[in-house]
């Protein structure tokens, strides 16, 4: 119960007590009981109650206003605290950024200093290298001049030597040309002899085979086949096989038999010619034209 409620209750009780005392004294003086009309008490009580309600409402309003002000101050304080924290954070970030920039600047200065030192060393090294390169080029030129002089002397000696060699080679070439001409002439003569010997041997072989051929009943004029023959150096027949048929197997067999019966075949006396053309050869067997 608040102060205003206590005051209102005390006021009503006091008023009621005073009215009761006045009524009691009135009854005592008159000696007769009379009904005391206290119609104004309810109005006073009602007015007091209404005043009390207004007082309570006002008190409530003041309390709410005070609470709102408190909340407003609290909100404002929070905003101020928030701004303060934000500003403090910004200051910390700015300080941190400044420290980082100072650190970077210091590192950059150190790096530039190191680069300057290295560049100076590099320049010294480059100057030294240039001096060494100049000395080396001078030495190379000297050596080149000496080599050029020596090479010129060698070229003169080589030219003389080459002239002698050319003269000797020309003489040798003339001799070789004459010898080659003779060899070519001999080779052509041998080739012609071998050709004639091969033609003669081939004709003789074909004739001897034809002479040993027994004409089969199925044979007709103009039939032919190709026979592959293998010989020994003596001309003896090792094998005879038809490799391109006439179309008549009987005729083909008769050709193979004729080759075998004609063994030994007449081959050239030259072993080289025999090995090249007659050790294994083919010929067209056509007994009748």
User: For residue range 40-77, what is the model confidence (pLDDT) as tens digits?
Assistant: 555 666 666 777 788 888 888 898 988 999 998 999 89
Domains in the chain: how many in total? 2
Residue 203: pLDDT over 90: yes
Indicate the Cα dihedral angle 194, 199, 203, 206, nearest 10°: 80
Q: Is residue 76 part of a domain?
A: no
Q: What is the domain range of residue 26?
A: 3-66
- CA 74 to chain centroid, in Å, comes to 67
Question: Apex CA 111: angle with CA 108 and CA 114, to 5°?
Answer: 155
Q: Convert the pLDDT of each residue in 147-171 to its tens digit.
A: 888 888 888 888 889 998 898 999 8
Q: Is residue 243 part of a domain?
A: yes
Name the packing angle between helices 40-211 and 249-261 (round to 10°): 50
Which of 181-190, 243-252, 267-276 comes out lowest in average pLDDT? 181-190
CA gap 219, 255 in Å, rounded: 11
Q: Is residue 264 part of a domain?
A: yes
CA gap 258, 285 in Å, rounded: 10
Q: Is residue 271 part of a domain?
A: yes
In CATH, what number is assigned to the domain containing residue 234? 3.30.1150.10
Q: Does the global pTM surpass 0.85?
A: no
Q: Is residue 160 part of a domain?
A: no
Q: Convert the pLDDT of each residue in 238-261 to its tens digit.
A: 999 999 999 999 999 999 999 999
152 phi and psi angles, rounded to 5 deg: -65, -40
Q: How confident is the model at residue 36 (pLDDT cuts 50, 70, 90)?
A: very low
Out of 66, 91, 110, pick the residue that ends a domain.
66
Q: Is residue 133 part of a domain?
A: no
């Amino acid at each position: 119960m608040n102060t205003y409620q206590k005051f209102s209750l005390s006021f009503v009780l006091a008023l009621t007590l005073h009215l009761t005392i006045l009524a009691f004294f009135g009854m005592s003086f008159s000696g007769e009981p009379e009904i005391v009309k206290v119609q104004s008490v309810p109005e006073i009580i009602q007015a007091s109650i209404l005043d009390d309600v207004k007082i309570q409402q006002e008190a409530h309003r003041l309390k709410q206003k005070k609470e709102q002000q408190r909340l407003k101050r609290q909100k404002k304080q929070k905003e101020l605290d928030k701004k303060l924290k934000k500003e403090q954070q910004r200051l910390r970030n700015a300080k941190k950024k400044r420290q980082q920039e100072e650190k970077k600047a210091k590192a950059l200065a150190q790096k530039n200093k190191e680069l300057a030192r290295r560049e100076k060393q590099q320049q010294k090294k480059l100057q030294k290298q240039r001096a060494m390169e100049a000395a080396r080029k001078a030495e190379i030129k000297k050596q080149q001049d000496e080599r050029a002089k020596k090479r010129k002397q060698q070229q003169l000696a080589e030219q003389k030597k080459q002239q002698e060699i050319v003269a000797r080679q020309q003489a040798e070439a003339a001799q070789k040309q004459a010898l080659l001409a003779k060899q070519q002439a001999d080779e052509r003569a041998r080739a012609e002899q071998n050709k004639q010997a091969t033609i003669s041997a081939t004709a003789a072989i074909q004739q001897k085979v034809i002479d040993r051929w027994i004409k089969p009943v199925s044979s007709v004029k103009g039939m032919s086949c190709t026979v592959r023959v293998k010989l020994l150096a003596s001309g003896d027949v090792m094998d005879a096989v038809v490799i391109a048929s006439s179309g008549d197997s009987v005729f083909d067999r008769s050709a193979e038999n004729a080759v075998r019966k004609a063994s030994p075949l007449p081959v050239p006396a030259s072993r080289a010619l025999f090995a090249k053309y007659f050790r294994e050869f083919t010929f067209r067997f056509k007994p009748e034209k």
